Structure 1
């Protein structure tokens, strides 16, 4: 085993080369003793034997008064999960063309199950629509795309997935360390067992697939049961989705998108799929040869172009509500699938 002092100077050297702020290791930091001694042999192949994890634990102890022994025991039982990194680098929302991607979600079976879900939960959907201004079919479709209406909520240990991404996925390390922190605070607040929470490979949880920070801030106890249950309560899932979308700017009663014709793609190539906000007036689009083919509102929109066949690209002018769905998942393929499924589901009053 590498002596701790050697490991310590190696890590500090890497930090200095990369421009990372070096951690303060004062005598009362709580981690300095660990740095001066060999870690327990049983930690050698686990995350508890990772110096960076020890510094993370130290921060949670200092900032949140977290129990150090509980954290060290939890991290000592887990190792890196390589498939999490592999999946994070090969997300279908990024690499799969829309005409293939949408078939997973926009189909008659999922629309049929969505209508059944809407019927069962008509009271909660009506309540959420009145209180949050989000159409019922959008709420239902989002849950349908995320987890097949609660049928597929993920079977991976959230703690191991988040830890892997927090310490072995440099591209989004800071984000996943903050989500790991949020998860551990949720564990303590909700009385969960660390490592027993099941979710997606990226750490998303429940039938709405909230990341831990969103679970903390935006999940709600909509059925007033006394606790939030995003796995077993349709009402909590419905209320939480509606709360999330309103929080991110959903505008009640406003359109999502209109189909468009593009006269000269090269003329607007730099504007297609650009940005995360509607940014161009309809009059400007018209001058550029981008023409709505459906009734439209004179509001700013963004130009969406997605491959709807091997050699076909279709275009839409997207309003604010389309981009609000992208706050849930920053993929245009995802947002379009949710809204197309919502159109297929229709209004629950008529089903």
Structure 2
């Protein structure tokens, strides 16, 4: 017992030492003048507003564990068997409840943007469990830490830090207040600041685009899918993906999966031994999805453009497939309910 106590005390001291070492004044970072210049030139910040930015940066906390979390995101490190557990009974039931509780808002979003209610529910279910878990990290800390220090993605996070300060000015937020994910995504819809500024909608008519409001999140997700990327916008009335089987133990030589850079005619895939679970016209253009299972097995799907529209939300195959399958289950079980 005494030895355990000593070890525990040593660990506590190490944690305290690390916390002290991580104290930093980001307002003194050499890239701050660049940040301020962008806010001045691109967003018309006054000198008083720029002073508020530097004051907020002085209060930002360095959280290097967020960089590790971003680098080890489950979409990168898990098998599909593990990741697919997110398509669980509780999410399906809560998704069905969302379709009922937000019926008018979802129907309006589908009418205006063509995005089905179940797909919007799938996004909300995977992102935040329908607004229940929106993140507990200050966005200021997440974006400052990664914007100034991320080893490979600092350019992206730095740009989002600039957008965050502009968003706070526009929405009258105190930059020290909003909380979100480890990456700085906010609200029920988990928008990054740039998307919040550009694509968030006031869908409940209260005069503010508030992504912590389910109606605003629903409208904003639908708006996102039709305006974020013209090349991969949502195509109303078209499918997302269908299961496929292959002849043999692996994809044929030359077949490339899990990318938006290679597409195939269904007839060519069928000649190569890849068969969709439903009949499709031979000239249908699809992508290949290869999901790694525990034990080294594989699950195959053929993806339509709407699957890649979902990937604009999060560019990981597992994420897009989880949204796809959750939406399918919600829609199927909602239709089967009396």
Bigger shift: 170-179 or 151-160? 170-179
- Could you tell me how far apart the structure 2 residues matched to 1:85 and 1:186 are? 23
Q: Quote how far apart the aligned CAs of 1:264 are.
A: 4.1
Bigger shift: 149-158 or 168-177? 168-177
Q: Quote how far apart the aligned CAs of 1:300 are.
A: 0.6
Q: Quote how far apart the aligned CAs of 1:143 are.
A: 0.4
- Could you tell me how far apart the structure 2 residues matched to 1:145 and 1:269 are? 34
Q: How many residues align?
A: 306
- Ranges in structure 2 where 5+ consecutive residues have no aligned partner: 1-22
SS of 2:202's partner is coil
Q: TM-score, normalised by structure 1?
A: 0.82
Q: Note if 1:99 corresponds to 2:99.
A: no
Deviations 1:40-61 (A, max 9, x none): xxxx931012112233224323
Q: Quote how far apart the aligned CAs of 1:88 are.
A: 1.1
Bigger shift: 294-303 or 338-347? 294-303
- Could you tell me how far apart the structure 1 residues matched to 2:215 and 2:24 are? 42
1:47 pairs with one of 9, 15, 26? 26
- Could you tell me how far apart the structure 2 residues matched to 1:314 and 1:191 are? 47
- Could you tell me how far apart the structure 2 residues matched to 1:119 and 1:274 are? 34
Quote the residue 1:243 is aligned against.
223
SS of 2:245's partner is strand
Quote the residue 1:73 is aligned against.
55
Q: Quote how far apart the aligned CAs of 1:350 are.
A: 5.6
Q: TM-score, normalised by structure 2?
A: 0.85
SS of 1:125's partner is helix
> Aligned Cα RMSD in Å?
1.8
- Ranges in structure 1 where 5+ consecutive residues have no aligned partner: 1-43
Q: Note if 1:190 corresponds to 2:174.
A: no
- Could you tell me how far apart the structure 1 residues matched to 2:250 and 2:89 are? 36
Q: Quote how far apart the aligned CAs of 1:197 are.
A: 0.6
- Could you tell me how far apart the structure 1 residues matched to 2:34 and 2:217 are? 35
Deviations 1:54-101 (A, max 9, x none): 332243234433223211111111232111111111010011001111
Quote the residue 1:328 is aligned against.
313
Deviations 1:180-233 (A, max 9, x none): 1111111000000012111001000000000111111111111222111110x2
